[in-house]
Structure 1
């Protein structure tokens, strides 16, 4: 028999919710009219005078929220609901009252709230959360008078909103658009990664892209035909990736996120995992010369590895910088994303961590601003998205463009002026007494030229030399301290920090 069209379970629940609203309105003595086309409003109530039965030419708009499962945080006393921003804007923009009716059709229960009363100010609207008291907000015949009072507005007239200013915001979320179709797992006797790694090295191999959890080894690779077979203590199993990717079980989600993370770390030979810093960073080049990466849409690329020269001897390398990245995989609205957090790493020889790395990090974080973070985020997004060529294999996990969102709230740039004096944010203040002096003293002892440190933030604007390496400070020039506070150029008229 040919496949037939079916009706989803949620459709039945929604229709039962509408039917429950209509029945309750009749019990109150009012008339409910469902809409054939739903754009955030499921219908309206025509209010009727309880004594004369006259139709009052007053209406309430209704949006139904019907579920057969419990609402968020639901107890015997109440629950809460998080409104979609577009719906909330729609409900608040008109001149007719809008009520939300929450229901469990299966148990014949319903509750209600008026939207403008639930969101009276900007603070409450920003939360998008409405709280329901199940004892006082029942949607039954006792609500009839409350609906009448709600429709009798204190003022009359039509309010038209001004034209909205929309903005497109770019996030630091990189969507996963492709991943292996199967997850392989098998029992293992190894309880920690060190022992499992030693077993692999005994076979003359160093493999990654696998995890250990609950006496199981898991990987996107086929455990039967890979070096990982040595970790198995039983027959491997195959599972559809979607079973893991779409699971609502938090432990399964954490396992899958860990597997994605380790697989990505293994997919870029130019990157090295730093166990102590918990980030990936670019490896040193074989000749310890500069390396550039990240060219693409929205970025000209940057120097992701390069030398920085001593302050006392401009011909001697003081330290090397490596562009670094912290990642976190998370699922939002059914889509897996890689959250990008740019970082920095400093070494003495391309591998050994620089003794004053923490001080350099403290200095650069103090100077870091939105343009620098945005630039490095685009560099990493372009790098992770690079396509395979004749010399590289296709990566098992592939990414799309940085996620963007259009918001219906914006500020005209002409309204921005200079910030008031003394308006420096708290995170720019050094919490320790004499912090500036101590930083300068440490950098002086380290014989570090911090002029090149600034090039990590300014490269692509004015800090990049023609060959792609950070600019050297000319001998005798005055070095700029990593701890020196810069003028608030980003707060001047016409400019602003990232929203």
Structure 2
């Protein structure tokens, strides 16, 4: 006779059933809970400072939500991609009363590089209800995995609104704004209008570009590369019959035509080929003072001598000025040892906008070990230097490059002393200025260097010690 509550089946089968039911039961982990709480808290914080915030679905792979800038309550269609990292009470790496650091995961950084929106990381801690944020630098060639947070300036609150909104202003593509200094209302644009030569030389060629370069090196004359060659068609602004390029063209087929016929061609491939010709012509034109780095695709000031600085004198907006365009940084502990050499540089990009060609000047830096050999760790040095750049620095660099490209007759600059480039071919007008309705706050250009943040020079010292 069976008693009430007795097991009426095989004991082994009963135990197996209990294990199965337990395995099938769902469990919500603490990480999932704090993740949900963090996203909800960050959404509330964005709403409280005047932004909209839309959370994404559970299928997200590295972007938790989209924040939209609101201007006096009206949506602006300016978006930020937001990734939230939450914790209950854990301290961050090297955290003190001033700040801390945070190391990004490589797979997250690779994912964010594909974003067409600015990406920011928001850190939420439940124990003290703290919110800190930082922009993720996704520019090509920049490997900034370690973020430095300063508690006084990187809190996600109403004081961060201007800096957050500024991230949504494009700084790539067809130029970007360089805000005016100290409350001015005129903004400088990093586009230099181009004055094209009236004529261009075209010819057929039996060579492809690779074979043409090899052929030029086989000639007795100094080779020159200010030409474009595609599909057997040769273009240049110089007469190929009078230079080393005579060897790579059909001399009897050389013709002179109006530049506008190729410069404003309807075919986008032809325009791209013309832009390539402009870039190669610019390289040749400034070769006595600037060098081309093929890996980073930028032009940088040459060093005159090994481990020697170089100064370029020019006239700024009102006064005479000078810049250390090649700067030798020495080891902080051993001054006799050169840590690296920093060169002023810019990434040239030619764009045709409304039947006008422009040179887009994106200022940056190039790093070498002694003025000539490329540095093996340029990314950390570039990140450190870029963090120190502000409005005045960027504006000054745009003005300096404009002066360099247009003022050829300054004797102290020693520009264009090569016999092969005695007369510049490309000429540039002044960068446009735009009147802004409001002044852009200085702090949107970045935060001041905190006590815990390393500069470019200090970064090199760390690299040496490691």
The TM-score with structure 1 as length reference comes to 0.49
The question of 1:242 aligning with 2:271 is answered: no
The question of 1:343 aligning with 2:364 is answered: yes
Distance in 1 (alpha carbons) for counterparts of 2:197 and 2:346: 23
Per-residue deviation, 1:174: 0.9
Cα contact 1:294–1:383 (8 A) shared by 2? no
Per-residue deviation, 1:279: 0.5
Distance in 1 (alpha carbons) for counterparts of 2:265 and 2:299: 28
What's the RMSD between the two structures over aligned residues? 3.7
Per-residue deviation, 1:294: 5.2
Q: 1:125 to 1:441 in 2, by over 3 A?
A: closer
Summarize the alignment of residues 195-344 of structure 1 with structure 2, pairs less than 5 Å apart: 195-204=211-220, 205-233=222-250, 235-268=253-286, 269-286=288-305, 288-293=307-312, 295-298=314-317, 300-344=321-365
Distance in 2 (alpha carbons) for counterparts of 1:321 and 1:424: 22
> Any idea what SS the aligned residue of 2:461 has?
helix
Per-residue deviation, 1:325: 1.1
Cα contact 2:368–2:375 (8 A) shared by 1? yes
Per-residue deviation, 1:327: 0.8
Cα contact 1:188–1:232 (8 A) shared by 2? yes
Summarize the alignment of residues 87-106 of structure 1 with structure 2, pairs less than 5 Å apart: none
Per-residue deviation, 1:302: 0.7
Cα contact 1:210–1:263 (8 A) shared by 2? yes
Q: 1:240 to 1:365 in 2, by over 3 A?
A: same
Residue-by-residue CA offset, 1:256-292 (whole Å, 9 max, x unaligned):
2111111111111111111111001111113642211
> Any idea what SS the aligned residue of 1:352 has?
coil
> Any idea what SS the aligned residue of 2:308 has?
coil
Distance in 2 (alpha carbons) for counterparts of 1:424 and 1:168: 17
Per-residue deviation, 1:374: 1.3
Distance in 2 (alpha carbons) for counterparts of 1:440 and 1:170: 32
Cα contact 1:294–1:378 (8 A) shared by 2? no
Cα contact 1:388–1:395 (8 A) shared by 2? no
Tell me what 1:410 maps to.
Answer: 438
Tell me what 1:398 maps to.
Answer: 427
Tell me what 1:486 maps to.
Answer: none
Distance in 1 (alpha carbons) for counterparts of 2:323 and 2:229: 36
Per-residue deviation, 1:333: 2.5
> Any idea what SS the aligned residue of 1:248 has?
coil
Instruction: Single out whichever of 295-304 and 167-176 deviates more from structure 2.
Output: 295-304
The question of 1:186 aligning with 2:186 is answered: no
Q: 1:389 to 1:345 in 2, by over 3 A?
A: closer
Distance in 2 (alpha carbons) for counterparts of 1:256 and 1:319: 36
The question of 1:385 aligning with 2:406 is answered: yes
Give the aligned length.
Answer: 277
Q: 1:275 to 1:295 in 2, by over 3 A?
A: same
Tell me what 1:466 maps to.
Answer: none
> Any idea what SS the aligned residue of 1:292 has?
strand
Q: 1:288 to 1:386 in 2, by over 3 A?
A: farther
Per-residue deviation, 1:348: 1.3
Per-residue deviation, 1:425: 7.3
Distance in 2 (alpha carbons) for counterparts of 1:312 and 1:297: 36
Q: 1:257 to 1:315 in 2, by over 3 A?
A: same
Distance in 2 (alpha carbons) for counterparts of 1:125 and 1:363: 32
Cα contact 2:348–2:360 (8 A) shared by 1? yes
The TM-score with structure 2 as length reference comes to 0.52
Per-residue deviation, 1:237: 2.2
Cα contact 2:391–2:445 (8 A) shared by 1? no
> Any idea what SS the aligned residue of 2:398 has?
helix
Name structure 2 gaps, 5 residues minimum: 1-72, 79-182
List structure 1 segments (4+ residues) > 6 angstroms apart after TM superposition: 423-426, 434-437, 439-442
Name structure 1 gaps, 5 residues minimum: 1-120, 127-164, 449-499
Per-residue deviation, 1:250: 1.8
Per-residue deviation, 1:229: 1.1
Q: 1:301 to 1:442 in 2, by over 3 A?
A: closer
Cα contact 1:282–1:322 (8 A) shared by 2? yes
Distance in 2 (alpha carbons) for counterparts of 1:166 and 1:290: 34
Distance in 1 (alpha carbons) for counterparts of 2:454 and 2:434: 39
Distance in 2 (alpha carbons) for counterparts of 1:425 and 1:282: 26
> Any idea what SS the aligned residue of 2:271 has?
helix
Tell me what 1:365 maps to.
Answer: 386
Cα contact 2:202–2:236 (8 A) shared by 1? yes
